[in-house]
Structures are given as structure tokens and as C-alpha cells.
Chains A and B, each alone.
Chain A
Amino acid sequence: MLEVSSVQRKKMTEPNALGFFGEYGGRYVPEPLVGACQEVEAAFRDAWSDTAFRQEFLDILTNYVGRPSPLTDCVNLSEDLGLRLMLKREDLNHTGSHKINNVIGQALLAKRMGKTHLIAETGAGQHGVATATAAALFGMTCTVYMGEVDIKRQELNVYRMGLLGATVIPASSGSRTLKDAVNEAMRAWVTEVEHTYYCIGTVMGPHPYPWMVRSFHEIIGCEAQRQVVARLGKMPDVAVACVGGGSNAAGLFAGFVDHPEVRLVGVEPAGGAAVGRGVPAVVHGMKAHFLQDEVGQVVEAESISAGLDYPGVGPEHSNLADMGRAEYYPVTDDMVVDAFQVLSKREGIIPALESAHAIAWVIENADDGQG
């Protein structure tokens, strides 16, 4: 059983009073949502400093989600690549991805706040499935907004959400993908703010969401750090994660950010490299890097993986990049498809296309290392 004391650690910095990490973040929301964000922030601060809340959170992560997730040595691929590759197995969590950590945390918070209805946006459907799951677990109703294009790409997850009792509403505006699902979810939240809790799926949005979502995912980095040190007797040299909005990367990085000897690498889709090719913008309630045209209209991201098909990135990543603490690199869809097959064939692990971005970057750079 996990215990609160075992996972408390020095954190990535808390944002300032206005919600900024360095220059990024903030709370750029219309007046009807200012109070709602303040309410969420106050509730989160209160809950996160309450040992009973944190213990309940960890109990659910242990007994329902199945944490701690294992650390797997990739024996065959390590030999092929001439390095030691280890995977933190968030894919083995209940519902099949890291997304559930954050959702359990936010759903518990919503319950504590007396909210009865959860809304969420989703790209690949993983966050939607996780939110629908939590809603079922806590006896809440759930509405998930999903881009029309993504609904076609991820039909299975749409069916899954239905089975879990959630209603899926197609976002038919703009590019009909994740960013438009976010717009729709924000609209819905404005309309129903009294009883509704908006469960944001990544480290984006207005303060306190980027900070809160990262906090709920810190367990990934905490566990991984202890597991690697227990097995190897030392820290890893590089910690790598894919970055769309950047929640799984934020969770992983949190475990290593205070150890300067560990390189932190975020891998972005080449067609949605917000850190690599974006510039600071104010969109979706936050200041962070976004792909946009010269006048500031948001440009659509293009990626083979629906979960990374987002033109922006969480503000803490913008800040980590500016500080030089984390590095961000793009990989192409072709590299990702190759990596997807390599991991499947060599290790018997079929990775999410999102996670395959991180694998692709390692494969590419291992090749470089060998000349």
C-alpha cells in the first residue's frame, strides 16, 4: 500500500499567486469563469494539504488503478540500440494510460466540492474514458466533448465512454479535433458552472489546472525515480516522454527535475511541435507556446496520434524550455510508426502512438550515438 509520506517530495515550483510559471500560465478566462477557477484553486489548495484527501487518493490509485505501475527493462531493444532502455508502465494502469491518475484526483476534488456533473475534453479518447470511469466510480454524470475527426479516428473509445455511462458530444467547429473540443468544453462550463466540474485532461488551461494536473501526475516520476534507483543504484541519464499538452511528461519530469544530472527530454510530433515551432500566445485560458500564424490565429496541429494533436503546450513546459532545464525535440509520423512496430516486435509491448514518439526519439538518437 502506498503511503502519503513515501511520495511527498520536493516539487517543481508552485506557480506564483497569479498562476504563472516564469512568464507562462496565468488565468485568462472570461468573467463568468473567474469565480469558478478561484473556487477550484481554493478547493485544491485545501485538499492537497489535507493528509486524509491524499491518503484517499493514494488508496484509490493502489486498489482501483493498480499502482505502483511496474518498471520494465527492455532487454532486447536495449541490446539492439546499445543502451539500457527502461519503460515506466503507465499503460498497465486501469483504463490503459497515465490519464487516470489526474482524473481520480480531480473527481475526488469535484466530489469534495459538492459537484455532481463532470465534463471533459478528449483527443484520443483516453482522457474521456478515464473521466467517464471516474464519474461511474463516484456516481456522477459525465459529458465528454470530442472533435468529430477524433470520433472517427477513435471509434472504440467512443463506444467505451458510452458503456461507462457518459454522453459524448461532437465538436464540429474549427479543425474538429482536440483544440475545438476544449473550446466546446469551456463553453459548456460557462453555461453550467454551478453544478459542473471541468476535468481538464492535461497540464493546460487557466490556473490552477496546469499546476493541479501536474501534481496529480507527480506520482509517475516519484515511483519511477525510486524504482530506477532501487534497480540500478543510480539515477537515469535521460528521462524521455512525449508531449502534446504535456501531462505525462510533467508527471515524469517532476520526479527528476531536482536532479540536474538527469536530462529531461520532451518529444513532440513534428506537425504539432508547440515548444519547437510555436511562439507564446494566450489561448485556452493560459499564456504558453502555440502554433499560430503571424497575426495570432491558432494553426491546426497535424499528428498521427490524436492525443498529441494539440497546437499548444502546458505553460510549465514553456517555462522549463525557456530555463533550459528540459529539451524538446520533434519526431515525424513515419518515425513514430516505425517505433510503434519495433517495440511491439522486440518487446511484446504495443505502445500508444503517443508514447511511441518517445521511443522514436530514443531509437533515432541511439543510432546517432553509434555513428
Chain B
Amino acid sequence: MGKDEVILINQSGRGDKDIFTVAAALGIEITDNHINTRSLQAELTAKRDSGRKLLLPYVTAGIVGNWMDCVEAVIEAGADAVEIGIPFSDPAMDGPTIQQASVQALDNGITPHGALSELRTREFAVPLIAMTYFNLVFRYGNERFASDLAAAGCAAAILPDLPFELAGEWHEAAVAHGIENVLLAAPVSSDERLAQLVERTSGFIYTVSTMGTTGERAELDNAASVLSQRVKAISDLPVIIGFGISNPEHAVAAARASDGVIVASALMRTLLDGGSIDQVASQVNAMRVALDEAF
């Protein structure tokens, strides 16, 4: 082609859709601004108001290679939302089972960004709730973490070591990206503090069922029921009991005084002991059936 020739190209499409692909290929990281539009609180409240007891299983991201299949399996088994644990090296709030699950997942090479990127590739039928420790968010950046949670399809986050007095920046970022911030209430929380917690939490209120850290227990203590009643007296938020629910009997007992239960260590114990995702699903299903029959 010479200098006097005219060349015509058909510019057949605009490249807006490809900028992230190109940025990734060039190693550039773009913080795209994602906003979650799904309301965990609305979904849980509607289900509760229809008479259903809520069941929220927990899965440690990266505990097994196909951990997302486990998320899907517990949803099919009757979960109303799923807690996704993003593992931290020093999970002081968790008991030995979740710590072991975290170590295994970290050994498998999972990172916060990796976990959220994997979640981004699938859609789930129920809302997801990310649970992790504040240092990972602090390093990730509040804003970027909230945005990536939204992109990953998470509707809410639980950061147990970030008390609301110190949550200012995270809270702003979460609100800006439509992420609900779930707070914990403990039997030792004073009435004054409980009122503050109820005002600041969204999604639901997570009541700690024993004074201990997470973990399976033979007996479920009574403190959770008392705490749950105290919350219900001052709020219409869904009240979910966590920490120490390891079988259908526990789930039913805990749900009597509350709107539902979180089950974590008992499921992760199955995977740690070499059990299959199907076994985890049947544990969840047994709880679902027990809850539906009892109420």
C-alpha cells in the first residue's frame, strides 16, 4: 500500500467491554466501583416473616479446591444465606476447628483477592456474607474490599475484631458499596451497648451463643436464648445465634429463642476429617428438615 492509497477499516465495535481484559493483560489493576443491590436484611426478614427459621452455614474459602461447590451444595441443602470465611493467620475469635480450616486453606494458597475473584465467577441463589478479620481488610483497603465484596456477590460482611467504635472508615466504605455490616452481640453486652449494636448492625444481629470462641459443643448453653430475647425486646432485626451449633437438636433448641442459626465448625470438621461435600450437604439438610418440622 502506497502513500496515496486510502484504506478503510470497519471499526466494528467499541472496546469499553474489553478494558478490564486489557488492563489485566498489562498487569494494571483497576478498582472498578461495584455496588451490591441485594439486601440480606430484606431477604432474611421476609423469610422469617413467612414463618421459616433461618439456616446460615459457613464455608472456609479454599479449605478444599472445590470449596465453591460446597457453597452451592449447602445452598441446595436448604441454606438461607452462606457465610464465606476468608482465612486469617491469627483467628483469635475462632476455635480450633476454624483455625485448622484456615491453616489448611492458607496452605492451599488462598488469598482474600483470590477468594473474592473465584466467587465472582459464579452466581449463587442466596446472599453471601463474608467473614474475616479486620487486618485483611485494612491491608486490602476498606474501599477496595467493599467494592470487591460487591463484585463477588457478597451482600454483607462480618468483622468480629472490629468494634463499632473503630469501624468508621470501613462502615462508610461498606455503605457506599451497598454492603451490610453485621455486628456481634454477646451475653456480657450491657443494655446500653446492645441498643447501640442494634442501631448500627444491618443484615441481622449475630448473637454469640456461649462466652467462648467458635466450635462444636455437646451442650448448647442458655445464655444465647436470654440474649436473643433481650435483642428482640428492642428490635425487629433478624436474630441469628452462632457459635456452638453442631447438630439438628442444637439448631432446633437455638431457633426456639431466635430467628435462626449459623453452623460452622461442625461442617468444617467434616471436610477436615476427609469427608465429602455431599456429607456436609446432608448435615445441613438434616438441620433444615429438623427446623422445618419443629416450627
* B278 CB, min distance to chain A CBs, angstroms: 29
Contact in complex: B161, A282 (CB < 8 Å): yes
Let me know if A296 and B161 touch, CB within 8 A.
no
A276 to B25, CA, bound (A): 35
- Considering only CB atoms, which chain A residue lies closest to B93 in the complex? A30
8 Å CB interface, A1-44 against B: 18, 26-32, 34-36
Q: Does B106 interact with chain A (Cβ within 8 Å)?
A: yes
- Let me know if A55 is at the binding interface, CB within 8 A: no
Interface size for chain A: under 10, 10 to 19, 20 to 34, or 35 or more residues?
35 or more
Across-interface contacts of A194 in B (CB, < 8 A) = 188, 211
Cross-chain contact A298 with B161 (CB below 8 angstroms): no
Q: Say yes or no for A281: interface residue by CB 8 A criterion.
A: yes
Q: Is B71 an interface residue (CB 8 A)?
A: no
Residue from A34, A173, A287 within 8 A of B163 (CB atoms): A34
Q: Are B90's CB and A284's CB within 8 A?
A: yes
Q: Mark B150-164, 1 if CB is under 8 A from A, else 0.
A: 000000000011110
- Interface membership of B92, Cβ < 8 A: yes
Known A-B contacts A190-B213, A191-B211; A183 and B113 likewise in contact (beta carbons under 8 Å): no
Bound complex: CA A38 to CA B127 (Å): 35
Chain B residues whose C-beta falls within 8 Å of the C-beta of A281 in the assembled complex: 135, 138-139
B193 in contact (CB, < 8 A): yes
Q: Contact between B99 and A173 (Cβ–Cβ < 8 Å)?
A: yes
> In angstroms, how far is the closest chain B Cβ from the Cβ of A207?
10
Q: How far is the CB of A36 from chain B (nearest CB, A)?
A: 7
Given known A-B contacts A183-B92, A190-B93, A296 and B162 have beta carbons under 8 A apart:
no
CB distance from B97 to the nearest CB of A (A): 11
Asked if A295 CB lies within 8 Å of chain B CBs, one says yes
Q: Is the CB of B95 within 8 A of A31?
A: no
Quick check: is B103 within 8 A (CB to CB) of the other chain? yes
Do A173 and B136 contact each other (CB < 8 Å), given the known contacts A31-B184, A298-B90? no
Chain B positions 124 through 138: 1 when the CB is less than 8 Å from some CB of chain A, otherwise 0: 000000000111101
Query: In whole angstroms, how far apart are the Cα atoms of A284 and B186 in the complex?
Result: 19
Contact of A72 with B by CB under 8 A: no
Which residue of chain A lies nearest to B87 when distances are taken between CB atoms in the complex?
A297
Q: How far is the CA of A295 from the CA of B92 in the complex (A)?
A: 18
Q: Which residue of chain B is the closest to A287 with respect to CB atoms?
A: B138
Once A173-B103, A193-B211 are accepted as A-B contacts, the answer to whether A31 and B189 lie under 8 Å apart by CB is: yes
Nearest-Cβ distance from residue B160 to partner chain A, whole angstroms: 5
Q: Which of A256-307 contact B (CB under 8 A)?
A: 280-285, 287, 290, 292, 294-298
Contact of A29 among B135, B163, B185, B213 (CB under 8 A): B163
**A-side interface mostly:** mixed
Question: Is the beta-carbon distance between A174 and B134 smaller than 8 angstroms?
Answer: no
Would you call A187 an interface residue if the criterion is a C-beta within 8 Å of the partner chain's C-beta atoms? yes
A72 to B97 CA separation, bound complex (whole angstroms): 51
B208 touches A32 (CB 8 A): yes
A119 within 8 A of B: no
Interface residues of B in 144-185 (CB under 8 A from A): 160-163, 165-166, 183-185
In whole angstroms, what is the CA distance A18 to B211 when docked?
24
By size class, the interface of chain B is 35 or more
Does A364 count as interface, using CB distance less than 8 angstroms? no
A28 touching B134, Cβ below 8 Å: yes
Choice from B162, B184, B213 contacting A28 with Cβ under 8 Å: B162
- A126-157: CB near B (< 8 Å → 1, else 0) gives 00000000000000000000000000000000
Q: Which residue of A lies closest to B186 (CB)?
A: A32
A140 to chain B, nearest CB (A): 20
Q: Which residues of A, 283-339, contact B by the 8 Å Cβ criterion?
A: 283-285, 287, 290, 292, 294-298
Chain A residue contacts of B95, Cβ below 8 A = 187
Q: Measured between C-beta atoms, what is the minimum distance from B221 to chain A in Å? A: 11
Check A117 for interface membership: any CB of B closer than 8 A. Answer: no
Contact across chains for B92 and A186 when beta carbons are under 8 A apart:
yes
Most buried by B among A30, A182, A190: A30
CB-based nearest A residue for B114: A295
- Residues 160-197 of chain A: 1 if any B CB is under 8 Å from the residue's CB, otherwise 0? 00000000000001100001101100110011111000
- Min CB distance A120 to B, Å, is 15
Instruction: Give min CB distance, A233 to chain B, whole Å.
Output: 47
**Listed residue (B112, B161, B186) with the most chain A CB atoms within 10 angstroms of its CB:** B161
CB atoms of B163 and A31 under 8 A apart: yes
Which residues of A have CB within 8 Å of B247? none
Minimum Cβ distance to chain A for residue B117 (Å)? 13
Whether B90 and A34, one on each chain, are in contact in the complex, defined by CB atoms closer than 8 angstroms, is no
How far, in whole Å, are A27 and B211 apart by their CA atoms in the complex? 19
Contact partners of A28 in chain B: CB under 8 A: 134, 161-163, 166
Q: Please name all residues of chain A whose beta carbon is closer than 8 Å to the beta carbon of B135 when the two chains form the complex.
A: 281-283, 290, 292, 296, 298
Mask, B77-114, CB within 8 Å of A = 1, is 00000000000111111011001100100100001110
Residues of B within 8 A of A192 (CB): 211
Residues B188 and A36 in contact, CB atoms below 8 Å apart: yes
Contacts of B237 in A (CB 8 A): none
Beyond the given A31-B184, A173-B99, please list 18 additional residue pairs across the A-B interface where CB-CB is below 8 A.
Answer: A18-B166, A28-B166, A29-B163, A31-B163, A31-B208, A32-B187, A35-B186, A174-B89, A174-B99, A183-B91, A183-B99, A190-B211, A191-B211, A284-B90, A295-B139, A296-B88, A298-B90, A298-B135
Q: Which 9 A-B pairs have the closest CB atoms?
A: A296-B139, A32-B186, A191-B212, A297-B89, A31-B184, A298-B89, A30-B160, A186-B92, A183-B92
23 CB contacts below 8 A, A to B, read A27-B163, A28-B163, A28-B166, A29-B161, A30-B184, A30-B186, A31-B197, A35-B188, A35-B193, A36-B188, A187-B92, A187-B213, A190-B211, A194-B188, A280-B138, A281-B138, A282-B133, A282-B134, A282-B135, A292-B135, A295-B140, A298-B90, A298-B135
Binding site for A on B (CB under 8 A): 88-93, 95-96, 99-100, 103, 106, 111-113, 133-136, 138-140, 160-163, 165-166, 183-190, 193, 197, 208, 210-213
A interface residues, Cβ below 8 angstroms from B: 18, 26-32, 34-36, 173-174, 179-180, 182-183, 186-187, 190-194, 280-285, 287, 290, 292, 294-298
